[in-house]
C-alpha cells in the first residue's frame, strides 16, 4: 500500500513518526539536555548537529533506551515510549548504527543480519536478506563473510540488520567517518532510497557539507538546548557553524598558504610491517620535509595505524628502514584516550608525562609538583582546555578536551616532526579548527608534519603534498597545485591505482 493511501502514514505526516518533548537529562551538575524537543516525520532525513558536549549523544541515548531522562517524554506513532528500556525502543522501531558497526567478522552477511532474532534458517534466510539488501540499494552477497567486506559494505550490513528487524526509525551516528567520497555518495543514495520507502533517518555528522547533500531538515543543539529546527534549504555550512558555536569566529576552515619545504626530517625506505593476515605496510617509501604538511588519505584499515607508529618510531618495520633527523618527535595517536593519554590520571599528570625526568620538573629524590601544576595551568590557558582545575581526571573530558590535552603536551616542546593520526576525528567544528591551526602554525615554524586522516576535505585543505594509501602502499601522490578530489577519492577505494 502506498503512503498516500495509508491512514497511519497520513497521521504520521501530520504529527511526526517520532516526537520527543521536553527531554531533560543531567549528569551531576552538568545539564546535558535542557528541555529538548525533536520531531522526525515519515520518510524524512533529519540531520542532528552540535559541538562535542552539545547533547547529541545524550539525546540519542534517551531515544534508544540507554538513558532514563530526568524529564520529558517520547512518542512513536503517537504511543508513549517506555524510557530507559532498549528493548522498548527496539519494539517501537528505533535502531542505531554505531560508528564501530558491532558485527561478527567470521559470520556471513546473513548470519550477522539474523543474529539475535531467530534460529538459522539456511538458504531461505539468505534469499530474504538478499531481497532486503536489493530493495535498500545495497550490493551485498548474503554468503560473504563480514571480514571480507569493504568498510562501505560493512556500513550497509549494519543498516541491513536494522531493516531485517523491521525498524522504521534509523539513527546513523557519524556514518561517513570511515568512508571514501565514492562510498559516502553510495551511502547517501541508499539513505534516499530508504527515505522514499518510508523510513525515517536521524543523521549525526560533524561534516557540514554532508547535511546539504542528503538531509531535508536539521536540528542543531548548543549547550544542551535546541537553537535551530528548520529546513536545510537556504542554510549553508557557515550559517550552520555559527548556529552550532554561537559566533562566527570559528567556521572550521583554516586559511593556509603553501609551506616552504626544507630538509628531509623523516624518510621511510621499503618499510614493511606484517599484519594479522596481510601486510599492514607494503614496501613503503616516503619523505617528510621541514616546513611542509604531508597528508595521507585513505579509508580506515589500509595501514594508517602501522604507518603512524613506524613514522613516530613506536614500532620498527620488519624490513626496510626509518631515518629521522628530528631531535624531538610529537605523536598524536588516533586512539587519544587509550594510546595517547592515561585516563585515570589528572590533566596535570598527563601534561607532564614527557617532562617527569627533566631537571625542571624533578630531583633525583622527588618531583616538583608545584612546577607541574604551574606548567599545567599555563598549557590549559594556552590551549583553552575545558577544565575547572588541573586535578580533573582526563577520562572525564570530552573528545575535544582530550585532544587539547594531547596537543598541549606534544606540541609545547616545539617538535621537529609531528605525526598526527586522525587528529580531528569526532571533534566539533571549533575543536577541529583549533587542531588544524596548530598543525599549520608548527609547519610554518619549520616542523615537518605528517597528517593521516580519513577526512579527505581536511587532507586537501591542509596538505602541501598528498599521498593516497591503499592496502598498505602508496598508490598516488599529488602536489598542492595538482590536487584532484575525484581522482584521489577513487584511488582511496582502490580504483585507478598505480
User: DSSP string covering 242-265, please?
Assistant: HHHHSSSS--S----------SEE
Give 178's contacts (C-beta < 8 A, 6+ positions apart): 99, 151, 155, 299, 300, 301, 454
Give 325's contacts (C-beta < 8 A, 6+ positions apart): 263, 264, 265, 266, 416
pLDDT score of 393: 92
Contact 53, 128 (CB under 8 A): no
302 is written with which cell numbers?
Answer: 589500509
Residue ranges, CATH 3.40.50.300, the chain: 3-245, 264-492
295 is written with which cell numbers?
Answer: 597528508
pLDDT score of 215: 96
Give 137's contacts (C-beta < 8 A, 6+ positions apart): 189, 190, 193, 194
Q: What is the 8-class DSSP label of residue 478?
A: E
Could you give the residue ranges of the DSSP H alpha helices within 318-416?
347-351, 369-382, 399-411
Q: Nearest CA to 225 among 17, 51, 425?
A: 51
79-80 vs 94-97, strand pairing mode = unpaired
**Domain 3-245: which topology?**
Rossmann fold (3.40.50)
pLDDT score of 75: 95
**Domain 264-492: which topology?**
Rossmann fold (3.40.50)
28 burial level (CB within 10 Å; 0-12, 13-18, 19+)? exposed
List per-residue pLDDT tens for the chain, 498 residues long: 333 444 445 555 557 899 999 999 998 877 999 999 999 999 999 999 988 778 998 999 999 999 999 999 999 999 999 888 889 999 999 999 987 788 998 999 999 999 888 766 677 888 999 999 988 888 889 999 998 887 788 888 999 999 999 999 999 988 887 777 888 888 999 999 999 999 999 999 888 888 999 999 999 999 899 999 999 998 988 888 888 887 665 455 566 777 788 899 999 999 999 876 667 898 999 999 999 999 999 887 788 989 999 999 999 999 999 999 888 999 999 888 888 999 999 999 999 888 776 767 666 776 778 788 888 899 999 998 988 899 999 988 877 889 999 999 999 989 999 999 989 887 777 888 889 999 999 999 999 999 999 888 889 999 999 999 998 999 999 998 888 888 888 888 777 654
As a whole number of angstroms, the distance between CA 387 and CA 301 comes to: 34
Residue at grid coordinates 580519513:
454
pLDDT score of 142: 92
The model's pTM is 0.70
Q: How far apart are the first and last CA of the chain?
A: 50
210 is written with which cell numbers?
Answer: 554532508
As a whole number of angstroms, the distance between CA 150 and CA 161 comes to: 17
Q: Nearest CA to 117 among 90, 148, 153?
A: 90
Q: Angle CA(235)–CA(236)–CA(240) in degrees, nearest 5?
A: 80
| C-alpha distance from residue 282 to each of 266, 303, 382, 469 (Å) | 18, 9, 40, 10
Q: What is the 8-class DSSP label of residue 340?
A: I
Could you give the residue ranges of the DSSP H alpha helices within 328-368?
347-351
Residues in the chain, overall count: 498
As a whole number of angstroms, the distance between CA 449 and CA 441 comes to: 11
The DSSP element (H or E) to which 11 belongs, if any, is helix 7-15
Amino acid at each position: 500500500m502506498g503512503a498516500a493511501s495509508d491512514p497511519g502514514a497520513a497521521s504520521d505526516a501530520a504529527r511526526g513518526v517520532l516526537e520527543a518533548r521536553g527531554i531533560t537529562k543531567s549528569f551531576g551538575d552538568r545539564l546535558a539536555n535542557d528541555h529538548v524537543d525533536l520531531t522526525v516525520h515519515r520518510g524524512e532525513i533529519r540531520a542532528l548537529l552540535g559541538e562535542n558536549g552539545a547533547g547529541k549523544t545524550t539525546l540519542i541515548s534517551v531515544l534508544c533506551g540507554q538513558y532514563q531522562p530526568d524529564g520529558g517524554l517520547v512518542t512513536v506513532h503517537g504511543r508513549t515510549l517506555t524510557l530507559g528500556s532498549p528493548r522498548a525502543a527496539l519494539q517501537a522501531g528505533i535502531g542505531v548504527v554505531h560508528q564501530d558497526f558491532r558485527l561478527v567478522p567470521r559470520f556471513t552477511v546473513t548470519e550477522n543480519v539474523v543474529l539475535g532474532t531467530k534460529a538459522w534458517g539456511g538458504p531461505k534466510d539468505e534469499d530474504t536478506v538478499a531481497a532486503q539488501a536489493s530493495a535498500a540499494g545495497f550490493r551485498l552477497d548474503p554468503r560473504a563473510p563480514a571480514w571480507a567486506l569493504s568498510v562501505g559494505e560493512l556500513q550497509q550490513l549494519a543498516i541491513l540488520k536494522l531493516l531485517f528487524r523491521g525498524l522504521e526509525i534509523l539513527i546513523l551516528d557519524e556514518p561517513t567517518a570511515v568512508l571514501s567520497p565514492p562510498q559516502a555518495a553510495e551511502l547517501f543514495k541508499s539513505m534516499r532510497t530508504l527515505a522514499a520507502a518510508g523510513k525515517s533517518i536521524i543523521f549525526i555528522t560533524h561534516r557540514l557539507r554532508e547535511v546539504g547533500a542528503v538531509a531535508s531538515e536539521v536540528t542543531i543543539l548548543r549547550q544542551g538546548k535546541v537553537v535551530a529546527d528548520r529546513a536545510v534549504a537556504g542554510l549553508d555550512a557557515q550559517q550552520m557553524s555559527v548556529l552550532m558555536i554561537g559566533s562566527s569566529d570559528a567556521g572550521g576552515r583554516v586559511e593556509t598558504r603553501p609551506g616552504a619545504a626544507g630538509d628531509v626530517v623523516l624518510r621511510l625506505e621499503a618499510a614493511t610491517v606484517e599484519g594479522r593476515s596481510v601486510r599492514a605496510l607494503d614496501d613503503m617509501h616516503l619523505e617528510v620535509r621541514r616546513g611542509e604538511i604531508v597528508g595521507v588519505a585513505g579509508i580506515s584499515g589500509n595501514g594508517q595505524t602501522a604507518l603512524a607508529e613506524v613514522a613516530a618510531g613506536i614500532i620498527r618495520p620488519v624490513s626496510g628502514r626509518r631515518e629521522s633527523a628530528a631531535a624531538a618527535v610529537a605523536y598524536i595517536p588516533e586512539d587519544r584516550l587509550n594510546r595517547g593519554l592515561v585516563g585515570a590520571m589528572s590533566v596535570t599528570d598527563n601534561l607532564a608525562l614527557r617532562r617527569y625526568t627533566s631537571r625542571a620538573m624533578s630531583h633525583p629524590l622527588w618531583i616538583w609538583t608545584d612546577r607541574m601544576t604551574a606548567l599545567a595551568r599555563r598549557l590549559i590557558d594556552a590551549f583553552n582546555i575545558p577544565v575547572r582545575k588541573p586535578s580533573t581526571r582526563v577520562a572525564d573530558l570530552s573528545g575535544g578536551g582530550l585532544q587539547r590535552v594531547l596537543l598541549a603536551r606534544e606540541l609545547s616542546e616545539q617538535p621537529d616532526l609531528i605525526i598526527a593520526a586522525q587528529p580531528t576525528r569526532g571533534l566539533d567544528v571549533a575543536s577541529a579548527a583549533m587542531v588544524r591551526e596548530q598543525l599549520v602554525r608548527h609547519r610554518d615554524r619549520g616542523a615537518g608534519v605528517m597528517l593521516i586522516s580519513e577526512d579527505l576535505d581536511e587532507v586537501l585543505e591542509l596538505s602541501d603534498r598528498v599521498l593516497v594509501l591503499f592496502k598498505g602502499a602508496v598508490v598516488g601522490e599529488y602536489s598542492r597545485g595538482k590536487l584532484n578530489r575525484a581522482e584521489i577519492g577513487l584511488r582511496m577505494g582502490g580504483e585507478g591505482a598505480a
